[in-house]
Amino acid sequence: MRLAPAGLREWGGGGVAALFVTVLSWWLIPAAWASWTVTGVAVLGWFGIAWFFRDPHRHPPVGVRPGDLLSPADGRVSAIERVDHHEAVDGPALVVRIFLSVLNVHVNRMPCDAEVLETIYTPGKFLDARTAESAKVNESMLTRAVRADGLAFGVRQVSGAIARRIICPVKQGDRFTRGERFGMIKFGSTTELILPEQADAVVQVRVGDRVAGVRTVLATVPVRPSEAPV
């Protein structure tokens, strides 16, 4: 099982702590059954931490089209909204919001081949990520990017009551391929895909759907013919 490097402090530190507790229990506790119990609890605790920071290899689904935008996260579609203006696209926008529980993979991936335009960090609250209000007032990191045909879009990472650390080590000019990892949010959180509101944009999911990063097509915006890859 591959573990996310961004969680090294947690799963690495947890491993050291589990080893320390195990050694200490065998040194101080005379009863072997008690030492085995403590060892089992320590190992299970570490596996719980490691499971959260798992980072599985993913491949796009068979038949994916150039205009398809893949899910940037695992979780459940909690909202599909249209807003009059969003800074990610500097105009009317379509927002697909995904809620990630603590059981989901929390690594974020780029929905298509793209170049980063900028990242915008917004400080805020740490409300429960399951509430609609959290998407408006919680701490967030917006990554604005552009597809090769000029389609501007955004991926927004939003913290929650438990998730209090957004990882997004990208900068202007960075280029990503479809499905490439670009960050993660530690523990329960929300990830949004923001697209410009236009007639040919088609959302491929509904509220309540379970989605998987890279494996699920969230929306389709056809590539402009003049820029379509050969």
The pLDDT assigned to 7 comes to 72
Residue 147: pLDDT band (50, 70, 90) is: very high
Are 165 and 74 part of one and the same domain? yes
Are 13 and 98 part of one and the same domain? no
Are 124 and 188 part of one and the same domain? yes
Q: Is 208 left (phi over 0), alpha (psi -120 to 50) or beta?
A: left
What are the residues whose beta carbons fall under 8 Å from the beta carbon of 205, sequence distance 6 or more? Answer: 77, 80, 96, 211, 216, 217, 218, 219
Are 103 and 208 part of one and the same domain? yes
The pLDDT assigned to 160 comes to 74
The pLDDT assigned to 145 comes to 97
% of the chain beyond a pLDDT of 70: 94
Residue 45: pLDDT band (50, 70, 90) is: confident
The pLDDT assigned to 229 comes to 47
Are 10 and 45 part of one and the same domain? yes
For residues 134-158, give the mean pLDDT: 92
> Tell me, what CATH number does 197's domain have?
2.70.70.10
The pLDDT assigned to 230 comes to 39
Are 95 and 20 part of one and the same domain? no
Are 110 and 44 part of one and the same domain? no
Residue 226: pLDDT band (50, 70, 90) is: low
Segment among 40-49, 54-63, 129-138, 199-208 with least mean pLDDT: 129-138
The pLDDT assigned to 198 comes to 87
* pLDDT averaged over every residue in the chain: 88
Is residue 57, in this structure, part of any structural domain at all?
no
For the chain, how big is the Rg over CA atoms in Å? 20
The pLDDT assigned to 162 comes to 65
Query: Could you report the per-residue pLDDT of 8-19, keeping only the tens digit for each?
Result: 777 788 888 888
3-class state of residue 207 by DSSP: coil
User: Containing domain of residue 9, as a range?
Assistant: 5-52
For residues 92-116, give the mean pLDDT: 94
Q: Is the pLDDT of residue 190 over 80?
A: yes
| CA 107 to each of CA 52, 54, 55, 126: distance values in angstroms, whole numbers, following the listed order | 10, 8, 7, 19
Is residue 197, in this structure, part of any structural domain at all?
yes
Distance CA 59, CA 137 (A): 34
Are 16 and 76 part of one and the same domain? no
Is residue 127, in this structure, part of any structural domain at all?
yes
Q: Specify the pTM.
A: 0.85
Are 14 and 73 part of one and the same domain? no
Strand boundaries in 87-199, DSSP class E: 91-100, 107-109, 114-122, 140-146, 152-158, 166-167, 175-176, 181-185, 189-196
The pLDDT assigned to 228 comes to 45
The pLDDT assigned to 82 comes to 94
Segment among 9-13, 119-123, 172-176 with least mean pLDDT: 9-13
The pLDDT assigned to 203 comes to 96
Active site residues: 189
Query: Could you report the per-residue pLDDT of 63-97, keeping only the tens digit for each?
Result: 899 999 999 999 999 999 999 999 999 999 999 99
